[in-house]
Amino acid sequence: MYTDTHFHFSYFSQNGEDFGTGILETMAKDSAFLGLDVGTKCDDLLSRRDFISDCIEAISDSNTKHKCERMIRFSAGIWPDVESIKNRESCMETLREQIKEFKEEGDVFSNHLVAIGEAGLDHHWNPSGADGRSEDDFDTAVYEGERELFAMQLELARELDLPFIVHSRDAFDDTLDVIKNCGYNKGVIHCFSYGMEEARKFLDLGWYIAFGGGVTYTKKSRMDEMNELLRFVPDDRILLETDAPYLAPVPLRGTENSPVNVRYTYEFISQRRGVSIKKLCDIVDSNCRTLFNM
């Protein structure tokens, strides 16, 4: 039923294997169509796979195990932290090595790599935040290096014929510029945080738009604009996600997010689009099948 198109390994590892197993069992019970474990580091793909494999192995019911194995997919990518930007050449080599080993392992997940990313541009300056983003770190070399790291991964996605998961925060013009320069338009703008005109430009190029829990606590002064945006994105281009452990939806705002909380985002967006939750689930499931070639 509920499709969670985005959740992070870091959330599982925070509380250990028992916690991760519990989430996977709940998702299987809810008949989730897709759980996409998204990469953010050049060297995290194999460790994320191993952790989830251990979580699934701890499940006693064989049918539930099978559901989890069928549900879970992976992406691999490099989030634009400053160190990765500065060491982008070696990071890309490591990313390629991880992908090659992942696909050659011959285990149940070896053909479950369905996307490159998340990767892109982030110009939200919050030095005291979890990602320590500081404008002072972004001199000309880092700024251009960030664009280059993004473009390098877009080219990798083209080479592997995989969709791309774009991270773009306070960086719309540069994001669009890099995408247009590369000419690769196959993927999703994750946790979309721009307006309707920006959405239109991405949609015109062929991109999907994904909404997370943040839409449920839009400021009252912007709610009409948000509602219009949620209705504007066509049925064949919309995805929903959690971005756990971040952006927990109302009524859980301020807590650590979990993939199982995506139900609240479905409830909120289905009301704004004037469709049933079941209908919205079917729409998103269909889009996942198409985008991720499932």
Under 8 Å CB-to-CB from 32, ≥6 apart: which residues? 1, 2, 3, 4, 71, 259
For the CA atoms of 185, 189, 195, 200, the dihedral, rounded to the nearest 10 degrees, stands at 20
Q: Where are the alpha helices (DSSP H) in the chain?
A: 9-15, 17-29, 45-57, 62-71, 82-86, 88-104, 140-160, 172-182, 196-205, 223-232, 262-273, 277-291
- CA–CA dist 122, 247 (Å, integer): 17
Residue 237 C-beta-side C-alpha neighbours within 13 Å? 23
Do residues 74 and 49 lie in contact, with contact meaning Cβ atoms separated by under 8 Å?
yes
243 labeled part of a ligand binding site: yes
Q: Is 225 annotated as a binding residue?
A: no
Number of Cβ within 10 Å of residue 271's Cβ equals 14
- DSSP-based three-state secondary structure for 95: helix
Coil, strand, or helix at residue 181?
Answer: helix
190 has binding-site annotation: yes
* Count of CB atoms situated within 10 Å of the CB of 256: 13
Would you state the structure tokens that stand for residue 291, as one six-digit string? 């985008």
Cα distance between residue 286 and residue 24, in whole Å: 21
The sign one gets for the Cα dihedral 243, 244, 249, 254 is: negative
Determine if residue 118 is labeled as part of a ligand binding site. yes
- Binding residues for a divalent metal cation are 6, 8, 118, 167, 190, 243
- Binding residues are 6, 8, 118, 167, 190, 243
